[in-house]
């Protein structure tokens, strides 16, 4: 959904948002039950994911914590569905909504839903650009809010340092 403002070249060299340190496991994408049903057993992608219930609605998270090989807190483990050469192997319909809106997040701050920018994507930057703000204000923000109302499990607790983009 942000492909118009993401640099394909930078993404191909980066893949930061598809790998996770232990302290970033809260960022692992959440999958709806119908996709978990498909990806949790032999499937068209040839990769079976391990999922665990989140306890929040019927969403499941990808289990990656048993894949770390060292005690180094900087060790990164790639998402099960990341091909190091080709990127994400999932088709649009199976890709988590979380991934399709990255580096945007919908968060709850002081009881209100806000759209915030994760300030760690090297392509988008740490501060919302005019192009990003316009994209959010011209429909994407409403789309995210509508999805979150139907799938409230994607709403994260607000984190300090995440710039908010007001609709
Ligand atoms: S963190 Fe940003 S630049 Fe890197 S792969 Fe993800 S979207 Fe692309
Ligand atoms: S599902 Fe795809 S886009 Fe999302 S983290 Fe995994 S590899 Fe990346």
pTM of the model: 0.91
Distance CA 164, CA 132 (A): 12
Confidence band, pLDDT 50/70/90 cuts, at residue 71: very high
Per the CB < 8 A criterion, the answer to whether 163 and 128 are in contact is yes
pLDDT at 139 over 90: yes
What pLDDT, on a 0 to 100 scale, did the predictor assign at position 167? Answer: 77
pLDDT confidence of residue 91: 96
104 lines ligand 2 (CB under 6 A): no
Q: Which of 8, 9, 17, 24 to mutate to test the pocket of ligand 1 (most atoms within 8 A of CB)?
A: 17
* pLDDT over 80 (residue 57): no
Pairing of strands 51-53, 60-62: antiparallel
Q: How far apart are CA 101 and CA 77, in angstroms?
A: 21
**Site to substitute for ligand 1 among 123, 125, 128, most atoms within 8 A of C-beta:** 123
Strand 60-62 and strand 30-31: the pairing is: antiparallel
What is the rounded average pLDDT for all residues in the chain?
Answer: 93
Give the pLDDT band of residue 126 (cuts 50, 70, 90): very high
Q: Is 16 in the pocket of ligand 1 (CB under 6 A)?
A: yes
| pLDDT at residue 10, as a whole number | 87
For a pLDDT cut of 70, what percent of the chain falls above it? 100
Q: Nearest residue CA, atom 2 of ligand 1? A: 121
| β-sheet with 51-53: strand ranges across | 30-31, 60-62, 51-53
Pair of tokens at residue 145: 């809010």
């Amino acid at each position: 959904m942000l492909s118009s403002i993401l640099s394909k070249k930078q993404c191909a060299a980066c893949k930061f948002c598809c790998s996770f340190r232990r302290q970033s496991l809260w960022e692992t994408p959440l999958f709806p039950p119908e996709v978990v049903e498909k990806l949790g057993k032999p499937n068209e992608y040839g990769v079976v994911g391990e999922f665990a219930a989140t306890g929040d609605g019927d969403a499941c998270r990808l289990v990656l914590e048993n894949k770390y090989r060292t005690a180094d807190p900087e060790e990164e483990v790639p998402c099960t569905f990341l091909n190091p050469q080709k990127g994400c192997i999932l088709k649009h319909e199976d890709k988590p909504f979380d991934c399709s809106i990255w580096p945007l997040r919908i968060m709850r701050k002081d009881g209100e839903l806000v759209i915030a920018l994760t300030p760690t994507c090297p392509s988008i930057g740490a501060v919302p650009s005019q192009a990003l703000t316009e994209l959010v204000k011209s429909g994407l923000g409403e789309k995210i809010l509508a999805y979150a109302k139907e799938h409230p499990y994607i709403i994260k607790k607000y984190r300090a340092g995440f710039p908010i983009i007001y609709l």
